[in-house]
C-alpha cells in the first residue's frame, strides 16, 4: 500500500520558515500559536503541541519536529523540515 502525499505536503516547512523569518530563536508557544494560524490538520498541529517547553533555534526545532514527524509516520505525507 503506497503512502500518498497530502495536499498539505510542505505545510510544516512553511510554518518553520515563517517562524524564523525575522528571529534567531522561538519559544514553543510561538510555534504552536503560529501553527494554529495555518489551520493545520489535527495530527500535524499535535506535532507542535508535543514540543517540550523551551526556546529553540531553528536547527533544534527542526530536529525536534523531524523526530516527531518520523515517529508518527508523517514524513512521506507532510514532509520533513530543515
Chain centre distance of CA 8:
12
**What crossing angle do the helices spanning 28-37 and 11-19 adopt, rounded to 10°?**
130
**Under 8 Å between Cβ of 15 and 49:** no
Single out the residue of 33, 22, 19 nearest to residue 61, CA to CA: 19
Residue 4 has a pLDDT of 87
Predicted structure pTM score: 0.92
Q: Give residue 4's region: left, alpha or beta (phi > 0; psi -120 to 50).
A: beta
Each residue's pLDDT tens digit, 42-60: 889 999 999 999 999 999 9
Amino acid at each position: 500500500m503506497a503512502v500518498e502525499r497530502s495536499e498539505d505536503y510542505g505545510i510544516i516547512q512553511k510554518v518553520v520558515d515563517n517562524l524564523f523569518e525575522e528571529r534567531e530563536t522561538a519559544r514553543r508557544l510561538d510555534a504552536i500559536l503560529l501553527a494554529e494560524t495555518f489551520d493545520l490538520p489535527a495530527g500535524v498541529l499535535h506535532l507542535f503541541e508535543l514540543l517540550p517547553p523551551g526556546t529553540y533555534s531553528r536547527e533544534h526545532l527542526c530536529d525536534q519536529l523531524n523526530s516527531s514527524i518520523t515517529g508518527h509516520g508523517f514524513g512521506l505525507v507532510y514532509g520533513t523540515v530543515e
